[in-house]
A and B are shown apart, each in its own frame.
Chain A
């Protein structure tokens, strides 16, 4: 646990920034959960609510960027303070994109709900469960600067990718004999695609949380090997 700053206004600004990210995370998770519920329960009103509430998430992203800029300008943060500002702004950006995917899911849910044909929407439920867990853990990694949790998300995302492939294969095979249901199956494929992307974006948050905690950049590590620690020497 860090000591408080001598100039307490810095602590107030940092806490304010982090609180906004957590609020944004909470709204994003809620949007995602409601989008999936709208799809599974054929609730058009709930889907409309998700689409309408996305603007709250967008507003928060703008506010977080503004507050981050203010902190950079006023306090010239360094070390862990600087990493918190940078990570918070990047996390907000990833959350905004996740919420956009929730909107995409809600829009597809609306279209599916309007169709009289029943559809096996529960096929995508396991994908949601996996994506939601990755997102929850990523946010926990950010909140607690938990390196182990942040680093472990890549393997969870691989499992999500594999499950996504299976679902896409299953839905694609049904397309051939779908008759009038082809359009709805395509909507469901796009829902699955959004859930897969949410997993990727949540992994980004987890990776940034490792940077927050240890100043270690683990992005693209599989491709290039472990990154050297910046400026060591």
Chain B
């Protein structure tokens, strides 16, 4: 049962997991997003690319209302629907929204507790008390995150003892343990070596059958490798949003071409 929907995840709605409709966003008087409209399709990976300050992370954080925590910020127009539900509707519980729209950050942020408890945290928060269910879900989540074989004999050890790549995969396991609808990833591999990066990418590719992913990345090759669709942002505007293969072989907009080929002045 999803917190946001209060209905089974299998209940069919639209083909878009997230619908972003004419969203503009301000940090104080500075406009960070300008009239953004795009759909994030279910069971697809969507990459957000663009130069620093273009608004891609801001938009990502709008999807689970993380920007609510920043004083002086607000959506000045438009709406965001997750599975058809307006996330700004007064009846929506933000904590529950963030369980259904999970987030993995640039720097892995495991809690200072055991590996097991890191993954079990969301389940316990949701009120799950059956230890057998928790243990089974932790195992399933760690297996899905391709971490089980590496940690199964030390589940009670501190998560802080894991390598950077392992910590990031633990954070992914923690996110998917509560069966979210959407997983937001903000430069999840920027601090990882190529092997750890490949493991995260493999993970995203395999998990997209069960989840919808949005990944913010500065790595063009990563966007090309792992995403189905790519959105290019520049100065708060959505410049181009298309199939990833098309975006990296024949972009429609000159500015996109200049950015992805490294000609951006």
Listed in ascending order, the chain A residues whose CB lies under 8 Å from chain B are: 2-7, 10, 76-83, 214-215, 229-233
Complex Cα distance, B242 from A52, in Å, reads: 51
In the complex, whether B261 has a CB less than 8 A from a CB of chain A is: yes
In the complex, whether B151 has a CB less than 8 A from a CB of chain A is: no
- 15 A–B pairs (Cβ distance < 8 Å), ordered by A: A3-B263, A4-B263, A5-B262, A6-B262, A78-B220, A78-B261, A79-B249, A79-B250, A79-B257, A79-B261, A80-B257, A80-B261, A214-B250, A231-B243, A232-B242
In the complex, whether B30 has a CB less than 8 A from a CB of chain A is: no
Instruction: Given A76-B220, A231-B242, verify A215-B249 contact (CB < 8 Å).
Output: yes
In the complex, whether B154 has a CB less than 8 A from a CB of chain A is: no
Complex Cα distance, B204 from A50, in Å, reads: 57
| 8 Å CB interface, B226-265 against A | 242-251, 257-258, 260-265
Listed in ascending order, the chain B residues whose CB lies under 8 Å from chain A are: 220-221, 224, 242-251, 257-258, 260-265
Question: Measured between C-beta atoms, what is the minimum distance from B159 to chain A in Å?
Answer: 34
Complex Cα distance, B262 from A7, in Å, reads: 7
Q: A231 near B220 (CB under 8 angstroms)?
A: no
On chain A, the residues within 8 Å of B250 by CB distance are 79, 83, 214-215, 229-231
Complex Cα distance, B252 from A229, in Å, reads: 11
One of B249, B258, B262 near A83 (C-beta < 8 A): B249
Question: Measured between C-beta atoms, what is the minimum distance from A154 to chain B in Å?
Answer: 22
Complex Cα distance, B216 from A28, in Å, reads: 48
Complex Cα distance, B259 from A2, in Å, reads: 12
Question: Measured between C-beta atoms, what is the minimum distance from B252 to chain A in Å?
Answer: 9
